[in-house]
Amino acid sequence: MRIGIIGTGVAGSVLAEMLADAPGLAIEAFDRLQEDAAAEAGTGLNVGPNALKALRLALPMRHAAVRAASLPWRRWFIDAAWGERLFDLDLLDVAEEPGIRLRWSELYRALRAPVAAFTRRGLALEALEEDPAGRLAPVLRDTEGALHRPGGFDLLVAGDGRYSRLRALTAGVPAPRFHGIALTRLLVPDAADCPYDDYGQWFNGRARLLSYRLPGGGAYIAGSVPLPAPEAEVPEAVKSAAHQAALYLPRDRVACPAVAWMVDRIRRQIADLHWARLQDSPLLRGACDGRVLFLGDAAHAMVPTLGQGATQAIEDGIVAGLVLRRGGGVTEIGALRDARVEFVRAFSLEASDTMLPGGDPVEGSRAKTGADFLGKLRRLYTDIPGL
């Protein structure tokens, strides 16, 4: 069986390693980015304990590699902007091991290393054809405009992210659902004077800062900015340093040291802020009568509130790899993954209640100490069907 993987992001790289030594399977992977471009990708991210569990059980060497490239994520706390503690959790109370926090570039480096030998870089998917046997044959364009036809594949896998070209060609472009929140991301390269370490969130009304330290002395800061309507674009005025400071600094109280530090860094690096909008898109596992498989964000882009984007991509790659190694296909992968993914998507949106219109950040954060939320968190972090 010949399998082509379009995109060696998180899910594509994990799947490629899972299948690399499988008898009867020939694997080829393609990525539009050159290695030097991928090496600088992204800012920071946290990966949940459930992804680490999956790696530990299925790819122990990759588990060790990502642990070595990261800092542990063991604590999650939520404060009001003036420092009042609303929620404080040791992840080992609901998980079997800590999660991790690291830069995107380091995660890519750790996951792509074992599949580099059979990955062709600098090739973007242009179109699809069929070979005489009825197999899908990708047409790829290189950075100089030349077309490449690597032949037909029994299975094509979309690991090319939220804006998947393979999904667009085979199933159409998914319609995103927006939730009225703008998101910012910022990497602070030198955070030697940062007054906190592990994963924290700070609310000033529904405006929220999220931050943690990263390996190498940096820190990651993410902001959540309420918009006037679910489909609203981000107004240019919101992007100014003055507006950003006003969002996160309390008017009638003194900001705690953590918030004051983050606001100062945002002001200094206002031009470096990356902007997006909180959104998700419908789950779709496959197309073309089982000849195309969607994984990670190509299958199920979700809101990032619980840090499950890359985490679910790792789960996807591992479970899909186990199924394909034993001769299964897209239907069996969907049977193991889709109910799990829908639970994670719904829970991630539920956990966003403190940012969404009508939410109460203070009482909503305190409610997360209750048995219902912690029970769902335990299920999220420990229960992975298919392993």
pLDDT in tens, 195-246: 999 999 999 999 999 999 999 999 999 999 999 999 999 999 999 999 999 9
Amino acid at 373: F
267: three-class secondary structure by DSSP: helix
- Contact between 203 and 190 under an 8 Å Cβ cutoff? The reply is no
How far is residue 98's CA from residue 111's CA, in Å, rounded to a whole number? 19
Where residue 213 falls (left for φ over 0; alpha for ψ -120 to 50; beta otherwise) is beta
CB 165 within 8 A of CB 287: no
In DSSP notation, 285-310 reads -EETTTTEEE-THHHH----TTS-HH
Nearest alpha-carbon partner for 296 in 102, 58, 16, 28: 16
Which ranges of the chain have pLDDT less than 50? none
Cβ atoms 122, 142 nearer than 8 A: yes
If you write DSSP's letter for every residue of 57-76 in order, what string do you get? HH-HHHHHHHHHTSEEE-EE
The three-state secondary structure class of 385 is coil
pLDDT for the residue 34: 85
The two tokens of residue 179 are 């939730």
pLDDT at 35: 72
Q: How far apart are CA 242 and CA 9, in angstroms?
A: 36
The DSSP bridge partners found for residue 141 are: 124, 147
pTM of the model as a whole: 0.97
**Domains by residue range for the chain, with CATH:** 2-175+280-382 (3.50.50.60)
Residue at 347: amino acid letter = F
